[in-house]
Amino acid sequence: MLEISNLKVGYGGKIIIRDLDLRLDKGKILSVVGESGTGKTTLGLSIMGLINERAEKGIVQGKILLDGNDINRMSKEELRKLRWSRLSMVFQNVEDALNPLYSIFDQVKEPLLETTLNNEEAEGKTLNILEMVEFPIHRVKAYPHQLSMGEKQKALIAMAFIGDPEVVILDEPTSALDVISKDSITQLLKVLCKDRTALLITHDLSTAASLSDNMAVLYGGCIVELAPTSSLLSDPRHPYSRGLIRSYPDMDRAKDLQGIRGRAEFVESGCPFHPRCTQAIEICKEERPKLIMVSQLERRHSHPQQRPESSIQNRVSRYIACHRGGVIPLLEMRGLVKSFGKFRAVDSVDLTLFEGETLALVGESGAGKTTLAKTVIGLLEITDGKIYLEGKKIAENGTNLARENGFHRKVQMIFQNTRESISHRLNILEAVVEPLNIQGIGSEKDRLKAVKDVLEEAQLPSDDDFLNRYPHELSGGEAQRVVIARALILNPKLIIADEPTSSLDASVQAKLMKLLNNIQEDRGLSMLFITHNIALARKISDRIAVMQSGKIVEKGPSSRILASPLHPYTKGFINSASGLNHSKL
Nearer to another protein, 133 or 413 (CB): 413
Contact region with another protein (CB under 8 A), list: 103-111, 229-237, 431-439, 446-454: 431-439
Q: Which of 57, 315, 342, 425 binds another protein (CB under 8 A)?
A: 425
Question: Taking CB under 8 A as the rule, does residue 470 contact another protein?
Answer: yes
Distance CA 464, CA 451 (A): 11
Residues 441-460 that bind another protein (CB under 8 A): none
Of 370 and 558, the one with the shorter C-beta distance to another protein is 370
Question: Are the beta carbons of 176 and 94 closer than 8 angstroms?
Answer: yes
Burial 9-40 (b: 16+ CB within 10 A, else e): bbeeeebbbbbbbbebeeebbbbbbbbebbbb
Phi/psi of residue 343, nearest 5 degrees: -80, 125
- Taking the complex as a whole, the smallest distance from the CB of residue 407 to another protein amounts, in Å, to 8
CA separation for the pair 559, 170 (Å, rounded): 31
472 lines the binding site for another protein (CB under 8 A): yes
Q: Which helix (H) or strand (E) holds 373?
A: helix 369-377
Interacting residues with another protein between 349 and 408 (CB under 8 A): 374, 377-379, 403, 405, 407-408
- Cβ proximity to another protein, 85 vs 502, nearer residue: 502
| Nearest residue to 527 (alpha-carbon basis) of 509, 511, 540 | 540
CA of residue 255 relative to chain centroid, distance:
13
Minimum CB distance to another protein, residue 514 (Å):
24
Q: Determine the 3-state secondary structure of 283 from DSSP.
A: helix
- List residues bridging with 59 in a β-sheet: 10
Q: Which stretch binds another protein (CB under 8 A): 11-19, 177-185, 196-204, 419-427?
A: 419-427
Residues numbered 180 to 199 that lie near another protein (CB under 8 A) are none
Please report, as a single letter, which amino acid is at residue 363. G
Among 314, 439, 459, 518, binds another protein (CB under 8 A): 439
210 binds another protein, rule: CB under 8 A: no
Tell me which of 240, 415, 466, 573 binds another protein, using CB under 8 A.
415
Number of amino acids touching another protein (CB under 8 A): 29
CB of residue 498 vs another protein: minimum separation in angstroms?
A: 10
Q: State the nearest-atom distance from the C-beta of 335 to another protein, in Å.
A: 24
DSSP single-letter state for residue 543: E
Per CB under 8 A, which of residues 485..524 are in contact with another protein?
486, 490
> Distance between CA atoms of 250 and 549, rounded to whole angstroms?
33
From candidates 38, 421, 531, 559, binder to another protein by CB under 8 A: 421
Three-state secondary structure string covering 206-231: HHHHHHCCEEEEEECCEEEEEEEHHH
Q: What's the min distance (Å) between Cβ of 456 and another protein?
A: 21
CA distances from 375 to 308, 339, 414 (A): 22, 10, 14
Minimal distance, residue 33 CB to another protein, in Å: 40
| Stretch in the footprint of another protein (CB under 8 A) among 245-253, 312-320, 394-402, 469-477 | 469-477
Q: Which amino acid, one-letter code, is at 552?
A: I
Alpha-carbon gap, residue 216 to 187, rounded angstroms: 21
423 near another protein (CB under 8 A): yes
Of the candidates 63, 409, 532, 567, which one interacts with another protein according to CB under 8 A?
409
Please report whether residue 469 would count as binding another protein according to CB under 8 A.
no
Query: Is residue 417 a contact point for another protein (CB under 8 A)?
Result: yes
- In sequence order, the β-bridge partners of residue 218 are 223
Q: How many residues appear in the chain?
A: 585
Name the DSSP class of 18. E
With binding defined as CB under 8 A, does residue 253 bind another protein?
no
The rounded distance, in Å, linking the Cα atoms of 366 and 532 is: 10
Kindly tell me which of 344 and 486 has the beta carbon lying closer to another protein. Answer: 486
Q: Compute the distance between CA of residue 229 and CA of residue 411 in angstroms, rounded to an integer.
A: 34
Name the residue nearer to another protein (CB basis): 339 or 439: 439
Name the DSSP letter for residue 256.
P
Residue 54 near another protein by CB under 8 A = no
176 or 401: CB nearest another protein? 401
Minimum Å gap between C-beta 239 and another protein is 27
Rule CB under 8 A: say whether 412 interacts with another protein: yes
Q: Least separation, in Å, of the C-beta of 431 and another protein?
A: 8
Q: Minimum Å distance from CB 382 to another protein?
A: 15
Query: Which amino acid is located at 84 in the chain?
Result: W
CA dihedral (13, 18, 19, 21) in degrees, to 10, reads -130
| Nearer residue to another protein within complex by CB, 109 or 369 | 369
CB of 435 to another protein, least distance (A): 4
563 binds another protein (CB under 8 A): no
Shortest approach of another protein to residue 506 CB, angstroms? Answer: 24
Kindly tell me which of 226 and 428 has the beta carbon lying closer to another protein. 428
Pairing of strands 411-414, 494-498: parallel
Spell out the alpha helix ranges (H) of 224-277. Answer: 229-234, 239-246
Does 438 participate in binding another protein (rule CB under 8 A)? yes
Mapping DSSP to helix (H, G, I), strand (E, B) and coil, where does residue 579 land? coil
Distance from C-alpha of 513 to C-alpha of 502, rounded to nearest angstrom: 12
Smallest separation, CB 275 to another protein (Å): 30
Among 80, 190, 263, 424, binds another protein (CB under 8 A): 424
Closest C-alpha to 459, from 408, 500, 517: 517
Cα Rg of the chain (Å, integer): 28
Instruction: Catalog residues that contact another protein under the rule CB under 8 A.
Output: 374, 377-379, 403, 405, 407-409, 411-413, 415, 417, 420-425, 434-435, 438-439, 470-472, 486, 490
